Amino acid sequence: MSKSRVLSIILAAVMVVTATLVVGAAETFKIGVVGPTTGPVATYGLSVIDAVVMAVEEVNAKGGILGQQVQLIIEDNKADATETSNAFRKLISRDQVHAIIGAVVTANSIVGGQIAQMMKVPMITPTSTAEKVTQAGDYVFRACLIDPVQGRIMANFAYNTLGLREVAVLTARTNDYSVGLEEVFVETFEGLGGKIVAKESYSEGDQDFRAQLTKIRAQNPEAVYVPGYYTEAGLIAKQMRQLGMNQPILGPDGFDSPKLFEIGGDAVYGSYFTNHYHPEAGDEVSQRFVDNYRAKYGKDPDGFAALGYDAAMILFNAIERAGEAALSRNISAARAAIRDAMAETKDLHVVTGVLTLDENRNPVKSAVILKVVEDGYEFVERVEP
Amino acid sequence: MQEVIQQLVNGISLGSIYGLIALGYTMVYGIIRLINFAHGDIYMIGAFVGYFAIRNFNLSFLPALLVAMAVCAALGTAIERLAYRPLRNSTRIAALITAIGVSFLIQNAALLAWTPDPRSYPDVFPLRTYEIGGVFVDNRQITILSVAVALMVVLHYIVNFTQIGRAMRAVAIDADTARLMGIDVDRVISFTFALGSALAAAAGVLVGIYYNRIEPTMGAMPGLKAFVAAVLGGIGVIPGAMLGGLVMGVAEVAVVALTASTWKDAVAFAILIVILLVKPAGLLGRQVREKV
- Residue in chain A nearest B264 by alpha carbon: A202
User: What sign results for the dihedral spanned by CA atoms B150, B156, B162, B168?
Assistant: positive
Which of A32-41, B95-104, B111-120 is most confident?
B95-104
Give residue-wise pLDDT tens across range B252-274.
Answer: 888 888 877 778 778 778 888 88
Residue B217 Cα, gap to closest chain A Cα (Å): 8
Check: CB of residue B198 under 8 Å from CB of residue B72.
Answer: yes
Check: CB of residue A362 under 8 Å from CB of residue A146.
Answer: yes
Sheet with A353-357: strands ordered across: A348-350, A353-357, A363-364
pLDDT at B50 over 50: yes
Rg (Cα) of chain B, in Å, rounded?
19
Interface test with B, best of A207, A213, A259 (most B CBs within 10 A): A207
Interface test with A, best of B2, B250, B264 (most A CBs within 10 A): B264
- Find chain B residues with C-beta within 8 A of A210's C-beta: 10, 13-14, 253
pLDDT at A10: 60
- Find chain A residues with C-beta within 8 A of B127's C-beta: 242
Q: What are the percentages of helix, strand and coil residues in chain B, rounded to 5? A: 75, 5, 20
Residue A227 Cα, gap to closest chain B Cα (Å): 16
Using a CB–CB cutoff of 8 Å, tell me whether B124 touches chain A. no
Tens of pLDDT along chain A (385 residues) come to 455 666 566 655 555 544 444 444 457 999 999 998 876 677 788 899 999 999 999 999 999 999 999 999 999 988 888 999 999 999 999 999 999 998 998 889 999 999 999 999 999 999 988 888 999 999 999 999 888 888 999 999 999 999 999 999 999 887 777 888 899 999 999 999 999 999 999 987 788 899 999 999 999 999 999 998 888 899 999 999 988 899 999 999 888 877 788 888 889 999 999 988 887 766 788 889 999 999 999 988 888 899 999 999 999 999 999 998 999 889 999 999 999 999 999 999 999 888 999 999 999 988 889 999 988 888 888 887 6
pLDDT at A18: 47
Q: Which of A29, A49, A139, A32 is CA-nearest to residue A92?
A: A32
Q: Which of A202, A215, A235 sits opposite B213 (nearest CB)?
A: A235
In angstroms, what CA-CA distances link A204 with A30, A104, A131, A175, B257? Answer: 40, 21, 20, 7, 19
Separation between Cα atoms, residue B192 and residue B181, nearest integer Å: 19
Residue B43 Cα, gap to closest chain A Cα (Å): 15
Please answer yes or no on whether A212 and B129 come within 8 Å at the CB atom: no
pLDDT at A89: 95
User: Which class is domain A148-275?
Assistant: alpha beta
Q: Residue A107, Cβ neighbours under 10 Å: how many?
A: 16
Please answer yes or no on whether B212 and A238 come within 8 Å at the CB atom: yes
Separation between Cα atoms, residue B206 and residue B66, nearest integer Å: 12
* H-state helical runs in chain A: 3-25, 42-61, 81-89, 106-119, 147-156, 176-191, 210-219, 230-242, 259-264, 284-297, 303-322, 331-343
Please answer yes or no on whether A201 and B260 come within 8 Å at the CB atom: yes
Between A347 and B291, the higher pLDDT residue: A347
Residue A75 Cα, gap to closest chain B Cα (Å): 21
User: What sign results for the dihedral spanned by CA atoms B201, A212, A184, A381?
Assistant: positive
In angstroms, what CA-CA distances link A100 with A22, A332, A342, B237? Answer: 24, 14, 13, 61
Q: Which of B3, B215, B252 sits opposite A218 (nearest CB)?
A: B3
| Chain B contacts in chain A segment 309-348 (CB below 8 A) | none
Q: CATH 3.40.50.2300 in chain A, residues?
A: 8-145+282-365, 148-275
Separation between Cα atoms, residue B230 and residue B192, nearest integer Å: 17
Phi, psi (deg, nearest 5) at residue B143: -60, -45
Please answer yes or no on whether A212 and B256 come within 8 Å at the CB atom: yes
Using a CB–CB cutoff of 8 Å, tell me whether B94 touches chain A. no
pLDDT at B241 over 70: yes
ipTM rounded to 2 decimals: 0.78
Q: Which of A311, A288, A313 is CA-nearest to residue A301?
A: A288
Residue A41 Cα, gap to closest chain B Cα (Å): 8
User: What sign results for the dihedral spanned by CA atoms B195, B197, B199, B201?
Assistant: negative
Q: Which of B118, B129, B207 sits opposite A263 (nearest CB)?
A: B118
Q: Residue A384, Cβ neighbours under 10 Å: how many?
A: 11
Using a CB–CB cutoff of 8 Å, tell me whether A80 touches chain B. no
User: What sign results for the dihedral spanned by CA atoms A94, A95, A98, A101?
Assistant: negative
Check: CB of residue A163 under 8 Å from CB of residue A193.
Answer: no
- Find chain B residues with C-beta within 8 A of A201's C-beta: 260-262
pLDDT at A40: 63
Q: Are strands A376-383 and B129-132 parallel, antiparallel or unpaired?
A: unpaired
Does domain A8-145+282-365 fall under CATH 3.40.50.2300? My reply is yes
CATH of domain B2-119+127-278: 1.10.3470
The pTM (predicted TM-score) of the whole model is 0.75
Residue B257 Cα, gap to closest chain A Cα (Å): 6
Using a CB–CB cutoff of 8 Å, tell me whether A238 touches chain B. yes
pLDDT at A4: 60
Separation between Cα atoms, residue A79 and residue A350, nearest integer Å: 26
* H-state helical runs in B115-237: 139-161, 163-173, 175-180, 185-211, 220-233
Separation between Cα atoms, residue B148 and residue B56, nearest integer Å: 27
- Find chain B residues with C-beta within 8 A of A224's C-beta: none
- Find chain B residues with C-beta within 8 A of A206's C-beta: 221
| Bridge partner list, A70 | A29
A77 Cβ neighbours under 8 A, 6+ residues apart: A34, A35, A36, A45, A83, A84, A86, A87, A102, A103, A108
B164-182 burial, b at 16+ Cβ within 10 Å, e below that, comes to: ebebbebbbeebeebeeee
